[in-house]
Structures are given as C-alpha cells and as structure tokens.
Amino acid sequence: MPEPAAGTPAPGHVVLVGLMGSGKTTVGKKVAKLVGQRFVDADVELEARTGRSVAEWFADGEAAFRTAEADLLADLLAGAEPLVVGAGGGVVVLPANREALAAPGSTVVYLHGEPAFLASRAQAKPHRPLLADADPIEVFERLHAERDPWYREVADAVVEVRPAHEAGEKPKWRLAEQVVEALLALGVIDPSQVTDVEAVRS
C-alpha cells in the first residue's frame, strides 16, 4: 500500500471496494471527476472485453467468473494511466487479488455499510446474481461476515456509507468528498489535482 509521499505525489490508481449497494460505481464516478482521472466499473469493463455479462459468467460457475475478474484487475492495475476503479464486490475473495490491491501503485478505499442498511438499498439486478431468489438480509449478513476482514486487510482508508445518506441531500457527493479527503490525508494525490465539488456536481 502506498505511503504518504513527500512533495508532489505521482497519481496512482484509486480502487473502491465494498459490498454491492455500497455505492462503488456512483461514488467512483464522482471521485473520478474530482481528481481528474478516468473511471472504470470493473463489471462493465469485463462485459465489454469478453462480451459476457456477470450473470453469464456466473452461469458457468463462480470460479470461472473469479478467474476472469482477477485477470481484469491485474490488467487494470498494470496500466500506466491512473484510474478510479469500482471493483466488484467479491474481488477480495481471491488471495491473488488481495495481494494485487495491497501492492504499491494503488490506493484502496473501503466503502463500508452495515448488512441491514445495504440490504434495504440493493435491488436484485442482472449483475448481482447472488441476490437472485434470495433473502437480501441473509445474503448481506453472510457476505459481510466473510468479506469485511478482507476489505479491511487491503484498505488504506475506510469510509462509512450510512452517515452520508442520513445527513441529507446528495449523499453520493458527500461520500466522494470523503474519499478524496482520505486520499489527500494519505498523501497520494496533490491538492492542486482536486476540482472543487461545486464545479462538477450535476
């Protein structure tokens, strides 16, 4: 994981991790606007590169999807262009992915939400096969118990999701600002790199 740098830091990749429904895509797009980097949704990128949706990959078994997901993550993190990446919720399942996320060159921010809160927000969608025909609360409690330690293992910073939603309007922008504040505190981006939030809100 990156250490706070002296002087002007070289921009690196920013990777948002967390359970489905935590806001990795919507918050990630806003973080990308604020820091002037391109946003990549890992699930969308995988479908674009392979022509197969997450649901189609899962139809062949979760192991096949995890392998394809790992190959994509390695490729994204190896790229020279600094990206903001919204990772898939299960990216931390494989040890190789956790090693890649913890390596220098990337800063990982964990968007953490309690299972009941995320279950109240997440809807079953094609890219969320784990929610198909299942009790959302049971699914989120199981996934949180399994993955929370792994998210924290790779995270350089943790941002709590629920308080931003309870604070009022534009919670995703509030979360994006908190992510950027964490990046500044870690010394991995330069203040001059950050666009004022009012200039990019839409």
* Measured distance CA(28)–CA(17) in Å, rounded: 10
| Tens-place pLDDT, residues 82-138 | 999 999 999 999 999 999 999 999 999 999 999 989 888 765 444 455 555 567 888
Residues of the chain with pLDDT under 70: 1-11, 122-134, 201-202
**Greatest CA separation for the chain:** 52
User: Going from the N-terminus, what domains does the chain have, and what CATH number goes with each?
Assistant: 13-189 (3.40.50.300)
Residue 10 pLDDT: 61
Name the burial class of residue 84, with classes exposed (0-12), middle (13-18) and buried (19+) by CB atoms within 10 angstroms of its CB.
buried
Helix or strand run (H / E) with residue 13: strand 13-17
CB 89 within 8 A of CB 19: yes
Residue appearing with tokens 């709590």: 160
Q: What is the pLDDT of residues 83-94, one digit of tens each?
A: 999 999 999 999
- In this structure, are residues 52 and 59 in contact, taking their beta carbons and an 8 Å threshold? no
**CA-based R_g, the chain, Å:** 16
CA distances from 99 to 1, 20, 161 (A): 10, 21, 25
Per-residue pLDDT, 5: 43
Distance CA 52, CA 46 (A): 8
The whole-number pLDDT of residue 2 equals 43
CA dihedral (117, 123, 125, 130) positive or negative:
positive
Q: pTM here? A: 0.88
